[in-house]
Amino acid sequence: MASYARAFWTAAPGAGEIRPVALPDPGPGEVLVRTLHSGLSRGTETLVFRGEVPPSQYAVMRAPFQEGDFPGPVKYGYLNVGVVEQGPPELLGRTVFCLYPHQTRYVAPASAVVPVPDGVPARRAVLAGTVETAVNALWDGPPLVGDRIAVLGAGMVGCCVAALLARFPGVSVQLVDTNPARAAVAAALGVTFAAPEAAEGGNDLAFHASATGAGLQRALDLLAPEGTVVELSWYGDREIGLALGGAFHSGRLTIRGSQVGTVSPARAARRSFTDRLAIALDLLRDPAFDTLLSGKSPFDRLPDVLAGLADGTLPALCHTISYDGE
């Protein structure tokens, strides 16, 4: 029976380290999970790593099993897939997803883990938290049959939104990004690709996930009258500027914020957080999502990997961490 584990901590902005963690014995209603894979969010986790969470958002941005406080030392993360080694009989030996930080083993309430469906590989399942964000965004949208839709920002969130939109009947989807290499990703997901300056306008709906002011402005510019931008970006402590003197008022355009920390009001009365996560895991049966798994590294390399993601020297969509032998 494991009595210790190892976990990744941001010791101070820009500095990560792996620390030993004492493990309690799981009590009634708890599980002991051995991690197989965890995923790195290039957006939120790199902002946390760089120490860019504004003090006003410290409480809002806490992860479910976070330890420590911003800006550090802090143990942060929320894309974890592992195997239940101890716990209720119905979960014993099951592969599960949990919103847990990067740690080799951990004890958590059984209610906090969701079984990964048959047919979903464990590594692909780390995308569940991001697909859950996309599900919430589509509930916030929502798209309608026959809509023309632009998704701006081909990172993890934008690509997951585009992948789900590609399933809607009669919907035309263009994935917009400044990186031409994302054209291959768009093709694998079943949507068209365009550079920002070449994207087609007249869209009924736009989902913005580039975390740049220029991206949000372009999303507004691509809307038809009465159109809506669903804003998925989180800017940390950065300010952005928008030009709202053009068609914004005359076209009666809308910017709607979407954040996964709350179940969309469109479904909150009938769906729980667990329901939403289970939907996301079921959607991951589609092997098209594998195109978002752009690299992997062993757990011991995690401090260097996150530093590379944070400073841009390591390009990636979803970089995964493997725990073989832990």
CATH label of the domain that carries residue 314: 3.90.180.10
- The CATH code of the domain that includes 231 is 3.40.50.720
| Position 99 pLDDT exceeds 70 | yes
| Position 308 pLDDT exceeds 60 | yes
The percentage of residues in the chain with a pLDDT greater than 70, rounded to a whole number, is: 99
Omega cis (within 30) before 73: yes
CA–CA separation, 38 and 105 (whole Å): 12
| Residue 133 within a domain | no
The number of residues making up the chain comes to 326
| Position 84 pLDDT exceeds 90 | yes
| Position 238 pLDDT exceeds 90 | no
Token pair in block for residue 212 = 């740049």
Answer whether 91's CB lies under 8 Å from 31's CB.
yes
Cα maximum dimension of the chain: 66
Same domain? For 253 and 275 the reply is no
User: What pTM was estimated for this model as a whole?
Assistant: 0.92
Same domain? For 242 and 161 the reply is yes
Count of domains for the chain: 2
Same domain? For 221 and 250 the reply is yes
Which of 257, 285, 301 is the last residue before a domain boundary? 257
Token pair in block for residue 126 = 């780390």
pLDDT of residue 324: 86
Residue 83 phi/psi, 5-degree rounding, is: -115, 135
| Residue 264 within a domain | no
Same domain? For 157 and 243 the reply is yes
Which of 227, 257, 287 is the last residue before a domain boundary? 257
Indicate the pLDDT class of residue 262, thresholds 50, 70 and 90.
Answer: very high
CA–CA separation, 37 and 78 (whole Å): 11
Indicate the pLDDT class of residue 209, thresholds 50, 70 and 90.
Answer: very high
Same domain? For 100 and 63 the reply is yes
pLDDT of residue 325: 61
Token pair in block for residue 155 = 């990172």
Answer whether 175's CB lies under 8 Å from 186's CB.
yes
Calculate mean pLDDT across residues 83-111. 97
| Residue 31 within a domain | yes
| Position 1 pLDDT exceeds 70 | no
Q: How far is C-alpha 6 from the geometric centre of its chain's CA atoms?
A: 23
Which of 211, 229, 257 is the last residue before a domain boundary? 257
| Residue 99 within a domain | yes
Domain encompassing residue 239: 142-257
Same domain? For 148 and 243 the reply is yes
CA distances from 75 to 16, 70, 142, 216, 273 (A): 10, 9, 34, 31, 22
Token pair in block for residue 261 = 């920390």
| Residue 135 within a domain | no
Same domain? For 178 and 289 the reply is no
CA geometry: angle 174, 190, 130, nearest 5 deg: 80
Same domain? For 17 and 97 the reply is yes
314 vs 202, which has greater pLDDT? 202
Same domain? For 241 and 308 the reply is no
Same domain? For 147 and 252 the reply is yes
pLDDT of residue 216: 98
Q: Which of the listed ranges 31-45, 217-231, 311-325 does the model predict with the highest average pLDDT?
A: 217-231
| Position 100 pLDDT exceeds 60 | yes
> pLDDT tens across 112-171, in order?
999 999 999 999 999 999 999 999 999 999 999 999 999 999 999 999 999 999 999 999
Cα–Cα nearest to 282, from 140, 131, 133: 131
Token pair in block for residue 309 = 């993601």
Same domain? For 87 and 16 the reply is yes
Q: What is the DSSP letter of 56?
A: G
Same domain? For 58 and 171 the reply is no
| Residue 265 within a domain | no
